[in-house]
Amino acid sequence: MTRAPLRPAVREAVEILAAAGVPSPQADAEHLAAHVLGVDRGRLALMPMLTPDQLEEYHKLVARRAERVPLQHLTGTAAMGEIDLAVGPGVFIPRPETELIFAWALAQLEQLGHAHQPIVVDLCTGSGALALAIAHARPDAQVHAVELDAEALAWARRNALQLADEGDTPIDLHAGDVTDPTILEHLDGKVDVVVSNPPYIPEDAELDPEVVDHDPHRALFGGPDGLDVIRPMTAVIARLLRENGAAAVEHDDTNGSGVAALFAAHGGFTDIVEHPDLAGKPRFVVARRTAGR
């Protein structure tokens, strides 16, 4: 069996992906090679050769990526925190920017101490990314996740079962609408941390093909101004949080001040802070439930 050298194959893939307008051709070419070889990307240097079958599979994957099929649909996984999630058509692909909310949530839980079991709610959980990453990092926490879309909920259930089988604390998945004023009523005033990556893109936004052609539109768009879900969700967050509990909501980079204004207008929050992402763009707002609620 004649093996082919990996490095020229990756170089050719980079050229193909760059010509197709893929934003990160080098990284994607290497991720696909690592997927075909069944190794971490950092170990590619230790795998200098491809079998003919592997080379054929690699060429097919590169061609599909050049058609702007998302990398995560080709590999079947997306990362959040220390976990890998199964993703594919029908569910929103978690983004690296959301890792910032995950890190914020862990910091909030660290400050709580051990007076009671921490309770966390993930609104618009999608694939279960934030809920499951938090449950993995904090097995002592009781984590609830809400999702409206049936396809996304199926992906979240699949990921939850897999991680529970691997030993993580199971989460509680709820089919429901995060704008419903009665959602999770049994948790009123009991929740320590709420996180949410809701649909927040304004309807007229121009998006990359990977997003607009492959992510579910229901998970992307939040009405004309991007706030159709966040606006009513603010009251739900206020109802769920215990005194001094905190929330973090991801938003479009045009809406940092708009989301902060929604929390301020409610009147039940303090310590409202806008946070940028790693590129310096406005990305999420945090707020704390007013003491003496």
pLDDT in tens, 44-86: 988 888 999 999 999 999 999 999 999 999 999 999 999 999 9
If asked whether residues 48 and 101 sit together in one domain, one would say: no
Cα distances (angstroms) measured from residue 260 to each of 50, 165, 271: 52, 39, 10
Residue 84 belongs to a domain: no
Check which CATH number belongs to the domain holding 275 and give it: 3.40.50.150
If asked whether residues 106 and 61 sit together in one domain, one would say: no
- Say whether 209 counts as a known binding-site residue: no
Question: Is the pTM for the entire model greater than 0.75?
Answer: yes
* DSSP calls for 124-157: S-TTTHHHHHHHHH-TTSEEEEEE--HHHHHHHH
Tokens at 183, concatenated: 């959602």
If asked whether residues 138 and 205 sit together in one domain, one would say: yes
Place of tokens 């499951």: 132
If asked whether residues 151 and 194 sit together in one domain, one would say: yes
If asked whether residues 47 and 182 sit together in one domain, one would say: no
The per-residue pLDDT for range 108-157, each reduced to its tens digit, is: 999 987 778 999 999 999 999 999 999 999 999 999 999 999 999 999 99
- State the number of CA atoms in the 13 A half-sphere of 194 facing the CB: 35
Is 283 in a helix, a strand, or coil? strand
If you compute the radius of gyration of the chain from its CA atoms, what whole number of angstroms results? Answer: 21
Is 236 in a helix, a strand, or coil? helix
- Say whether 58 counts as a known binding-site residue: no
- Say whether 200 counts as a known binding-site residue: yes
If asked whether residues 122 and 184 sit together in one domain, one would say: yes
The per-residue pLDDT for range 235-288, each reduced to its tens digit, is: 999 999 999 999 999 999 998 899 999 999 999 999 999 999 988 999 999 999
Containing structural domain, residue 24: 4-67
- Say whether 197 counts as a known binding-site residue: yes
Place of tokens 């050229």: 15
For residue 8, what is the enclosing H or E element? helix 6-19
If asked whether residues 174 and 98 sit together in one domain, one would say: yes
- Say whether 199 counts as a known binding-site residue: yes
Q: Whose CA is closest to 268, among 189, 196, 200, 199? A: 189
Residue 282 belongs to a domain: yes
Most distant CA atoms of the chain, gap in Å:
73
Residue 145 belongs to a domain: yes
Residue 83 belongs to a domain: no
If asked whether residues 144 and 25 sit together in one domain, one would say: no
If asked whether residues 236 and 110 sit together in one domain, one would say: yes
If asked whether residues 174 and 258 sit together in one domain, one would say: yes
If asked whether residues 164 and 257 sit together in one domain, one would say: yes
If asked whether residues 128 and 252 sit together in one domain, one would say: yes
Give dist(CA 191, CA 111) in Å, integer. Answer: 14
Split into its structural domains, the chain has a count of 2
Nearest-5° Cα angle at 92, 64 to 105: 130
Residue 181 belongs to a domain: yes
Check which CATH number belongs to the domain holding 27 and give it: 1.10.8
Helices (H), the chain: 6-19, 25-37, 52-66, 71-75, 99-112, 129-137, 150-165, 209-212, 217-220, 230-240, 256-266
